[in-house]
Chain A
Amino acid sequence: MASVIVCHACDLAHRRDAVLPAARVRCVRCGAELYRTNAVSIDNALALVVSAAVLFALSNSYPMVTLELNGSFRDTTLLGAAIGLYSQGYAPVAALVLLTSLLAPLLEIVALFYLLIPLRRRARAEAQNEVFRLLTRLRPWAMPEVFMLGALVALVKLAALANVIPGVSLFSYGALMVVLAALTYVAPAEQFWHWAEGRVQ
């Protein structure tokens, strides 16, 4: 069974010869990625998760943007963006913004810690399978890169009205966006199972 791999996108069966340490294998018919493995260690991935956690903490501890007009200041945090919508009676939109900008990246970081730390000790997290499935379900809803561009649009619009001062959080969130993208590239789902099955017998 392990010698056949079926394409998730077009159902074509392929013979799986050998798993190379670093390879990107595509379906011969539809071009979808069958699997990708990297020559990275769990420690490499965990280092990225740690940086993501630090950047996430920074992004939520400082203001994102400050507005200045005639000496009066007003600022907002990442969370403030969702709160503003909520306080105006748009709870569903607030929930959507909260999920995509804050909650999904946070859960992604927590889930990766939960999955990877036991693997390092050749063990397996108690709810490994449930958390893994939650992680794959969550990933499409984390949109830090879209939020950054949205912030850019908002800043340009506000620059016509007042003085706009970018905050620490804007930069740390931009860096978080890069680290999360790197993590998705370096440790795709297939890589996780490669580690998990290699370690736990």
Chain B
Amino acid sequence: MTGLVTGRALGLRVCAHCRATVRAPGTAPCLCPRCGGRVHVRKPNSLATTAALLATAAFLYIPANLLPVMHMRTFFDVEDDTILSGVLTLIQEGEWPLALLVFVASIVVPLLKILALTWLLLSVYRGWGGNIRGRSKLFRLVEYIGRWSMLDVFAISLLVALVQISALATIQVGLGALAFGAVVVLTMLAAQSFDERLLWDTGDRG
């Protein structure tokens, strides 16, 4: 990286709260002169925190998909809905654009987040130097799309509120919804605790 100088080499760091450039030699945390927040050279324990949150999310992804998120009782039948069976019902009703939306938001996005963050962590642990820009693009994508997994949780909350004790049907929340909500929160926290600069540090040191 000839001609390019990093903040760390100049004794400068960026405040994570207000993004002010702060001059502070060494590695001890200091206070931001602009917003008063604590400023670190790199997010503390970034890799370990991200890995722990990610492992928990990956584990909970299984019950989130296997357990019913909702039990629905109508005049005609009782139905246990998992995330996937909810998608299939939408397809049967001919609502395929919505089915695709729920499938992507609830099944593809969490899985993609878990796989992508695992790969990014691995690349930092192993010190891979190739295609850093591509990997940082991937991280930003993961960070951006993560929130969309909440879609099904919101849909369930409205269904429950409307059909709770009505004459025509009863909807009970299932344990899958709890696991699913946890996956969304854990993957969001995992992305937040990952320090993107670690991807670039490998190249900057070599």
Contacts and interface: CB of A to CB of B under 8 A. Distances in A.
A88 B19 contact: no
A12 B201 CA distance: 10
Contacts, number: 205
A72 B204 CA distance: 68
A35 B19 contact: yes
Interface string A85-100: 1011110111011001
Interface in B40-89: 74, 89
Interface string A128-151: 011011001100100100110111
A1 to B, nearest CB: 5
Interface residues of B, number: 72
A20 interface: no
Interface string A62-106: 001101010010111000111111011110111011001100000
Interface of A: 1, 4-13, 29-32, 35, 64-65, 67, 69, 72, 74-76, 80-85, 87-90, 92-94, 96-97, 100-101, 129-130, 132-133, 136-137, 140, 143, 146-147, 149-158, 160-162, 189-190, 193, 197
A165 B81 CA distance: 24
Which label, helix, strand, loop or mixed, suits the secondary structure of the A interface?
helix
Interface of B: 4-10, 12-14, 16-21, 23, 34-37, 74, 89-90, 93, 95, 98, 101-102, 105, 132-133, 136-137, 140, 147-148, 150-164, 166-169, 172-173, 177-178, 181-182, 184-185, 188, 192, 196-197, 199-201, 204
Contact of B35 (A87, A133, A151): A133
A81 B6 contact: no
B16 A80 contact: no
A194 to B, nearest CB: 11
A81 B154 contact: yes
Contacts of A90: 173, 177-178
A161 B177 contact: no
Nearest to A192: B18
B34 A156 contact: no
A182 to B, nearest CB: 18
Given A97-B153, A161-B168, A190-B19, A10 B37 contact: no
